[in-house]
């Protein structure tokens, strides 16, 4: 029993150091994930802008076509 108690007492600092390392890795990985998303957001914003521009052109073309029908 005494040997088990000594082992148990030695485990606490090791487990605390392990928890600290896990916490560090979680924060580090989260920061990396967020940084990688920033580039993705920029790309998506560009895609959305191009899509909106194309929709605007399509709407203008449709309006112009409808105008030709009204004139007829």
The predicted structure's pLDDT at residue 53? 93
Spans of all domains in the chain: 30-72
User: DSSP label at 25?
Assistant: H
**32: pLDDT strictly greater than 90:** no
**72: pLDDT strictly greater than 70:** no
Report the pLDDT averaged over residues 53-69.
91
Helix%, strand%, coil% for the chain, nearest 5: 95, 0, 5
Each residue's pLDDT tens digit, 8-30: 788 888 888 889 988 988 888 88
């Amino acid at each position: 029993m005494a040997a088990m108690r000594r082992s148990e007492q030695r485990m606490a600092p090791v487990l605390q150091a392990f928890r600290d390392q896990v916490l560090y890795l979680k924060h580090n990985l989260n920061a990396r994930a967020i940084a990688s998303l920033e580039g993705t957001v920029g790309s998506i914003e560009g895609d959305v802008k191009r899509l909106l521009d194309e929709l605007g052109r399509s709407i203008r073309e449709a309006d112009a076509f409808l105008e030709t029908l009204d004139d007829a």
